[in-house]
A and B are shown apart, each in its own frame.
Chain A
Amino acid sequence: MITLKYFASLKSVVEKEEDHLDIKNPVTLDQLSDIIAATAPKMGEMIRAKKVLISVNQEMADDDTIIRDGDEVAFLPPFSGGTK
């Protein structure tokens, strides 16, 4: 099982903060995007348009990152901490 986490504006896009997904074999981020798009099309669209950053186990990921059972995948909108 993998854990999916959504932050800030993305929580209202998918209407949840966290989700869990059973995957039989390791998947690429690209494949995971397809799985997510099947149930949350708007989220899938944002991932494909690179409007969100994605981390796996708290490290930034790219299209080729492999996701394995037990991983934590987080979807991160552009950061706005600190101050101007």
Chain B
Amino acid sequence: MSTSTDSKIRIQSEDFSVTEEIETMKKVSRNIGGITTFLGTGRELSKGENITKLDFEHYPKMAEKKMEEIREKAVKDFGIIDMSIIHRIGPIDIGENIVLIVAAGEHRQETFKACEWAIAELKRTTPIWKRETTSNGEVWVQDTP
């Protein structure tokens, strides 16, 4: 599990600072003119049930590999300058940070597109699973679009 803040792809149990991640990205190039971020956070309600606890599990090595593939494809296909993707695992409280995508480019248009594509692709291809605990018990989420 990588925890170095220099790495553009990280899976970690500890929280991250959105501001620090943006500042790190800004240092990549003086040509960056726009940065789009997506921050996913722990939501309390799921299908009408109050969630009391969230827990994330991943497949080490494969998850990092898939996230790196997303980063490389985003840079190539959308013409952005760089992207970082950070996902937390383990127990996460309601309201806490879960996932952050930072897309940096010369202009805003490509960063919006790259960021939206990357979070959808992450959900589709990256072996990370979410377990929700509600008053009805624990359930591994399998059908989140």
A→B interface (CB under 8 Å): 5, 7-9, 55, 58, 74, 76-84
Shortest CB distance A45–B (Å): 17
Shortest CB distance B53–A (Å): 15
Number of A-B contacts (CB under 8 A): 75
Q: Chain B contact residues: over half helix, strand or loop, or mixed?
A: mixed
Q: Give the distance in Å from the alpha carbon of A9 to the alpha carbon of B125 in the complex.
A: 18
CB of B1 within 8 A of chain A?
A: no
Instruction: Give the residues in chain B near A55, CB-CB below 8 Å.
Output: 59, 62, 127
Q: Give the distance in Å from the alpha carbon of A80 to the alpha carbon of B127 in the complex.
A: 8
**Max chain A C-beta neighbours (<10 A), residue from B43, B141, B145:** B141
B40 x A58 contact (CB < 8 A) = no
A83 x B98 contact (CB < 8 A) = yes
15 further interface pairs, Cβ-Cβ under 8 Å (given A7-B129, A79-B124) = A8-B131, A9-B129, A76-B59, A78-B143, A79-B125, A79-B126, A79-B129, A80-B141, A80-B142, A82-B122, A82-B123, A83-B41, A83-B43, A83-B98, A83-B119
Q: Give the distance in Å from the alpha carbon of A84 to the alpha carbon of B47 in the complex.
A: 12
